[in-house]
Every structure is written in C-alpha cells, then in structure tokens.
Amino acid sequence: MPTGDPRTAAEALSELQQLAETADFVPAGCMVQHRRIPDAHGYLGAGKLAELAEVVKLAHSGCVICDDSLTPNQMRNIENTVGVPVMDRSELILQIFGTHARTPQARMQVELASLQYEMPRLRRRWTHLERQRGGIGIRGGAGEKQIDVDRNLLRTRIASVNRGLKRIEQHKVRAVQARPDLFTVALVGYTNAGKSSLMNRLTDAGVLAENKLFSTLDTRTRPWRLPGGRTVLLTDTVGFLRKLPHQLVASFHATLEEALHADLLLVLVDGSSSEAAEQLTAVDEVLSTLKADNLPRLTVLNKLDLVEDRATLAPLWRIDPHAIAVSVQDGEGLPVVMTSIQNHLAAVENRVELLLPHTAGALHAEIRTRATVLSEFYTEDGCLMEIQASPAILGRLMAGGARAVQRPPNAPDQPE
C-alpha cells in the first residue's frame, strides 16, 4: 500500500477479498507492503516479490490479484517472477462488471471499457505478436507486425461499440424527454449500500438486490408516491467504488447521465461499515468526475439495524450534520427521508393559488400527481387551490385553463 493511504491494510484487503469472491475467486492468502511509491519495475520491492513467489508456490495459487492499477511492465515482471497470471484491481472490476451485465447497453459499456483497458496491454499479453507478416505490394517491404494488426482490430471494434452506445444514448435521451415532467430523485452511493433494496421498498420495483458488490449495473426508474399523493420519479444507479477504473466511469457515463440530471440525489452509505467516511469520499470523487458534485443531495446512512452503538455514526454526522440514519430492512427512518424530500420540494418549487374553472376539471388528476396540494376550496367559479409545483407544471396548467389568483393583502386563509 502506498504510504498515506487513509485505509488500514485490513480494510483494503477486506474490500479486495469481497471483490475477488464476487468474481468467484477463492482467496488463499494476502500480502501487504507499505511503500512511499510502488516500485516502477515490479510494484513490490525485489525481496517482497521473491517472497510472493514463494507464497504462491506453497499455496498452489492460480492467480495473483493486486489492489491497485498496474502498468503493463509491472504486470509482465510480476508474472515472470511468480509464474502465474496477475490481475490488477481494474481488470478484476471489469471482470465483475462483465459477469453482471444483463442488458445490451450494459454489455456494450463493459466491452468498451475492457477494450480500452486491453489496448496498451497487447504487448504484455501476446509477445508472439511481435512477428511480422509477409511483405505486401511491389516492394515487398518488411511487412506489418501482427501486434499492429491486432491493435487496429481493437481500434475498429472500439469505434463500432462507440457508435452502438451513441445510438442507445440517443434513444434514452428521447425516452427521458417523453416522460412526464415529474420531480426526479436519483439513488447514488457506494456499491452494496442498499440502493436497490431501498428502491424496492419504496416503489415495489422488483429490482435485483443481493448482498454482493455490483449486483445491478443498469439504471432503473420507477414512480414513487409520496404521502399526500404527490408522485416523483425514483432512479436507481450503478454503485460507485473507490479507485473505480476510469474506463468504466467514461463508458458508463451515458447510464449515469440519466440519473445525474435528477433534481435531488439520495446519497446512500453503509452506516454499519467502518469505512463509511471513506465511502462518502469515494462517492464525492466519482460525482466530481461526472461534474455532478454540485447537485442538491440528501445523505442517507443505511443499515442502522446492523449498528450496535449509534454513537459510531457521530463522525458521519460531523461530515454531514443533515444526514438521516435509516434501516431499509425494517423501515426505521424512512418517514424522515420522505419528509426531507417534501421539504426540499417546498424550498425549490413555486407556491401559487390557482382557480380551476369547472370546464378545466380534468386538470385535477394532473395537479394531484405532479404538484403538492396545500389547500382546496370550491366556489361558484370553480375550484380554488393553493398548490406547490415546478414552473414547467404551472405553465402546462395555465395552458390547460387554470388561472392564477392574486389574493388581496391580509386576506384570511380559505377553509379546505
């Protein structure tokens, strides 16, 4: 581990073990070396590398996994020393994503990230590709190295996958634009923090929720009815992770784009984890990479049912004093989350009084679904309503026949 890493060796290895088990590896042992910077030649120092080779031999291990990104040169040198394949953190995460990709978009995104990861590593993986192909043309010439042929094939495939993703992205943009103009809440957070479980509890979405890292990769959006009848959209997103490969962040940008145009982010954290503060930092880093770190957010500390001493949450409340502790498992704290969302709606939307003539009675259903009704009073001219709604919804209501009412100063409130 590089010196200065805020995690302890135990915490780092615990997460790496979870990743390895998610990818169906069976960990046989672990090794840690603290260095100011990794060795440029073999990542580990020469003595530690020799020790690793001996451990691999004794444990009959078939692979070595490093909790960091390795250069092609480092991977080649480690493999030459230990005699088994070497996988770095990026490749391990890519393998997990490849296993869990279900939809065409997710599979294409993982393939793109894998191709981009593979490009600089062709020389390490395929040393036989150094041979030259036969001469071409009148002069014959030295010909073209096989590695260059394979590299060109990779570039061609990358371009093809990019075109396919662009078509899917355009289709998703049209689908999002065609949705009802509803307030959108996006669930983001560290992987395995309980986002899918929360979505299932609030919306009966039926999203796969497992106690595994990256059990879901696809963005899903469902209507969520708040107390009082107001409906908002709730979107579940792929989980974040510390040191997430930049190829994945780039290729999954289209998937996250939909959620990151949300009106409010619910940032979920596993409150029972000893690394909860570091997980919050990791989420902030990914959001910053996606240029979404300025979006309004509400921090939710999940898995309260697994917290033996709630005083351990104090450091998280120092980071965000407005964070809400909940248990998706038993429902504790969820009413507070709903109230906080309603308070946020009240702060960002317009509060107006409208008169709905009897001829515009069809607008009632839209108002109750897309706005918050604060009061309602029937008169001879129609229904007088005080509502809270976005400018877009108000514009549509006015176009449908509703009229704004200017209440005289100091006028008493109308009874409901």
User: Do 165 and 181 touch, CB atoms closer than 8 A?
Assistant: no
Least confident of 26-35, 245-254, 378-387: 245-254
- Does domain 9-95 bear CATH number 3.40.50.11060? yes
| 182-345: CATH architecture | 3-Layer(aba) Sandwich (3.40)
Measured distance between the N- and C-terminal CA atoms of the chain, rounded to whole angstroms:
65
Amino acid at 253: H
pLDDT, mean of residues 252-258: 64
Whether residue 356 contacts residue 364, with contact meaning beta carbons closer than 8 Å, is answered with yes
pLDDT at 143: 47
Distance CA 334, CA 266 (A): 12
Both tokens assigned to 395: 């514009």
What is the mean pLDDT of the segment spanning 142-171? 81
3-state SS of 124-180 is: HHCHHHHCECCCCCCCCCCCCEHHHHHHHHHHHHHHHHHHHHHHHHHHHHHHHHCCC
Residue 139 in this model has a pLDDT that exceeds 60: no
pLDDT band at 1 (very low <50, low <70, confident <90, very high): low
Is residue 310 over pLDDT 60?
yes
DSSP state for residue 377 in the 8-state scheme:
E
pLDDT of residue 141: 44
Does this chain's domain 9-95 share its CATH topology with 182-345? yes
Q: What is the pLDDT of residue 126?
A: 45
CA 255 – CA 110 distance, rounded (Å):
12
pLDDT recorded at residue 266: 93
pTM for the predicted model, two decimal places:
0.73
Give just the sign of the alpha carbon dihedral 388, 390, 391, 393: negative
Domain ranges for the chain: 9-95, 101-176, 182-345, 350-404
Would you state the pLDDT for residue 48? 93
- Cα separation of 170 and 168, whole Å? 5
User: What does the alpha-carbon distance between residue 304 and residue 312 come to, in Å, rounded to a whole number?
Assistant: 11
Q: Encoding tokens for residue 58?
A: 């004794």
Contact between residue 96 and residue 22 where contact means Cβ atoms under 8 Å apart = yes
Which of the residue ranges 64-78, 170-184, 229-243 would you say has the lowest mean pLDDT?
170-184
pLDDT for 415 equals: 46
Architecture of the domain made up of 350-404: 2-Layer Sandwich (3.30)
pLDDT band at residue 51, thresholds of 50, 70 and 90? Answer: very high
Instruction: Read off the DSSP letter of residue 263.
Output: S
H/E run at residue 397: helix 391-399
* Residue 80 backbone dihedrals phi, psi, to 5 degrees: -65, -30
Q: How confident is the model at residue 137 (pLDDT cuts 50, 70, 90)?
A: very low
Predicted local distance difference test score (pLDDT) of residue 258: 63
